[in-house]
Amino acid sequence: MEIDGVWIHSQFDPKKEAIRFVSELPHDGTERIYLLFGAGIGYIIPYLLERQKVTILWMEPFPFLILEALRKFDFSEFFLSGKLVLITGDNLEDQLSEAVKGKGTHPISFVPHRGSWQWKETEYLRLKLIAEQMFHKKDVNLATLTRFEKIWAKNICYNLPELSKFRPVSDLFGIANGIKVVIACAGPSLSESIPELTSYRDQFLLLAVDTAVPILTLFGVDPDLIYSVDPQALNSQYLEDYTGDGILIFDPTSTYLSLRLDKGPNKGFVTSSPFPLIQLLEKTASDEIGSVPFGGSVSTNAASLGTLMGANKVYLVGQDLSFTKGLAHSKGAVLEERLNYLESRKFRREKHNYKQLFALPQKQVLGIENETYITNEKMLIFKKWFEDHTKENPWTNLTKFGAKLEGMDHSNFQKEFLLDPKETMLEKELVCSVKALIQSKLSEHPNFFDRILLTKDIQNTISSLKDFGILVKQGLIVSQRIYQQIQKNQINPKTFSEDIKLMDGIDEQVSQKKGLNEILSLGIQRVILTITEGYDDHLSLEEKENAQLGVAKKSLLLYEGLYESVQNTKRMLTKSLYRLQLII
């Protein structure tokens, strides 16, 4: 096949070319994934399919090449078995993510097709970039999940008493119809936008991420709503001296310390959560709590909420997604102010800022005015999230400096808010009425959550966890016994058979406790990912080489994790129950 003067395969012997190319690809007899960025009309694929324990993912942007390949080769058997997966059309990243699900331990070989790349390098390079981004995002998500698993579980449990007094975020859905909402993020350029935020303050509803609150209040700007989603204790310090009228939008996994401050916002709206522990609160609600889409950063949540509120337009400010002017944080940020207490002759705030800039590998990003800024991979994930979601959301970027968000309009305050006096007056009146309506939602009676029912549910859950803990402890003991027999190669056929039978019975009983397992799963994500994705290197070389020992070790890890999670969750819920009874 020749296209635009380029031979897609050898014009002499494409089969021989394919055999030679396949022979150069790694294959050691273990499970492996070959990710093809193009395959022309498919000569390479039959030779790859001959290999055992391989999965072939075939990414192809041009349908006519797929059609020609399927006319020449019958791959139906391999499509049906899942050994060959075709990835084409829209949502390539989602398709690829689905194709590799459950194959986290398999090594992946990137296989670019030479002829295709010579013909349309830009298109096939785009496929490679999508794949790299997907795998990087997956690694970041897994790392985040395992890093924060216990903190999230702790925060949800400890937040239950205070959140039972909150209203649901669904109260806010559609409430801002006809007005403008500004999302204040905490990027380095936020302080540069303070004059405009002050000048046009009455013409919009201001929704600030919690990290931006100290910067805004330092300059006399008080937000209407404050979004908090970060689980780390440090985030409570953004709110600890706050004395304004801002109302809290609170994710259940956010640090429980924020709700126990002497000062700071102590009333507001709670969002739902994808983690099953929130079911304890949801079951006592009179209606749906409401979910807000998230993209890994509090600013992504805040922007999504602005859309759900029905705002006429949602504006982003301070959303740099880069180290603008060499700064890691906006001037006045808590992280910077805390350095007043930490500075010494050998540790200056400039050194801290420098360390922040190089905490992750640096990347370059195109700026709003086509200049170049330094960023990192984490911020590029958030950048991609905004770009992927901007089509269906009325977002406009008012950030003065920083990364350019492709597909999102960029504007300025003067253009968006400088109206004639009559329109300005009407805009101010509408914003004022929406603020009053939000305040009225907080005083609605009866309470949205039934605290007496919540108390009973927590008591019942604690009681169930006590009984479940006995069963899990038995499973832990038996799994230890099985593991030790295999490891020492001292298997007594009679007792080993009895232990396996006993283990099967325990596994069956444990698996039937679906509700409890869901609640406990948040605290053992590292263990689950070790078993399903090979995320962490818990298995020794001996356990990897000995299949029986490896299976026994995974069973042991599961019961160790479950037992630890039972004990921790029971302890945390007991503390929350005590606080809840004090409130009632």
Kindly report the length of the chain.
584
Whether residues 202 and 71 fall in one domain: no
Q: Does residue 412 form part of some domain? A: yes
Residues 6 or more apart whose Cβ sits within 8 Å of residue 132: none
Q: How far is CA 582 from CA 38, 265, 285, 540, 571, in A?
A: 64, 20, 20, 49, 17
Q: Does residue 542 form part of some domain? A: yes
What's the pLDDT score for residue 519?
A: 86
pLDDT tens-digit map of 104-143: 667 889 999 999 999 999 999 999 988 987 887 666 666 6
Whether residues 130 and 228 fall in one domain: no
Q: Which CATH number covers residue 104? A: 3.40.50
Q: Which residue has the tokens 């099967």?
A: 504
The pair of three-digit structure tokens given for residue 496, joined into one six-digit string: 């080993």
Whether residues 39 and 126 fall in one domain: yes
What's the pLDDT score for residue 101?
A: 79
Whether residues 106 and 197 fall in one domain: no
Q: Does residue 154 form part of some domain? A: no
Whether residues 292 and 352 fall in one domain: yes
What's the pLDDT score for residue 543?
A: 79
Whether residues 117 and 182 fall in one domain: no
Separation CA 203–CA 425 (nearest Å): 9
Contacts by residues 109-112 (CB-CB < 8 Å, ≥ 24 positions apart): 109/25, 109/26, 109/32, 109/33, 109/34, 109/35, 110/35, 110/37, 111/25, 111/34, 111/35, 111/36, 111/37, 111/44, 112/37, 112/38
Beta bridge partners of 363: 375
Q: Does residue 131 form part of some domain? A: yes
Q: In terms of DSSP bridges, do strands 362-366 and 313-317 run parallel, antiparallel, or are they unpaired?
A: unpaired
Q: Is the peptide bond before 446 cis (omega within 30 degrees of 0)?
A: yes
Q: Does residue 147 form part of some domain? A: no
Q: How far is CA 325 from CA 317, 357, 400, 518, in A?
A: 16, 11, 12, 46
Whether residues 388 and 484 fall in one domain: no
Separation CA 227–CA 249 (nearest Å): 5
Whether residues 330 and 386 fall in one domain: yes
What's the pLDDT score for residue 354?
A: 43
What's the pLDDT score for residue 536?
A: 53
Separation CA 397–CA 407 (nearest Å): 10
Whether residues 327 and 417 fall in one domain: yes
Q: Among 442, 467, 497, which residue terminates a domain?
A: 442
How many separate domains does the chain show?
Answer: 3
Residue of 23, 43, 20, 45 lying closest to 35 (CA atoms): 45
The pair of three-digit structure tokens given for residue 581, joined into one six-digit string: 């009874």
Which domain does 327 fall in, by range? 168-442
Q: Does residue 63 form part of some domain? A: yes
* 3-state SS assignment for residue 186: coil
User: Any idea what DSSP says for residue 246?
Assistant: P
What's the pLDDT score for residue 349?
A: 43
Whether residues 328 and 383 fall in one domain: yes
Q: Does residue 32 form part of some domain? A: yes
Whether residues 466 and 436 fall in one domain: no
**Contact between 41 and 66 (Cβ < 8 Å):** no
**Contact between 230 and 148 (Cβ < 8 Å):** no
Q: In terms of DSSP bridges, do strands 6-7 and 2-3 run parallel, antiparallel, or are they unpaired?
A: antiparallel
Compute the 3-state secondary structure of the chain and give helix, strand, coil in percent, each to the nearest 5.
Answer: 55, 15, 30
What's the pLDDT score for residue 498?
A: 93
pLDDT averaged over consecutive 10-residue blocks of the chain (584 residues)? 93 93 87 93 95 94 95 95 94 89 79 94 92 76 71 93 94 95 94 94 96 93 96 90 93 94 85 91 93 90 96 95 76 48 48 49 86 87 90 93 94 91 92 95 87 95 94 95 90 90 94 88 75 64 80 89 93 95 80
What's the pLDDT score for residue 554?
A: 87
The pair of three-digit structure tokens given for residue 343, joined into one six-digit string: 């500075």
Whether residues 108 and 240 fall in one domain: no
pLDDT tens-digit map of 418-472: 888 888 999 999 999 999 999 999 988 778 999 999 999 999 999 999 999 999 9
Q: Does residue 161 form part of some domain? A: no
What's the pLDDT score for residue 142?
A: 65
Q: Among 390, 413, 442, which residue terminates a domain?
A: 442
pTM above 0.75, yes or no: yes
Q: Among 442, 467, 500, which residue terminates a domain?
A: 442
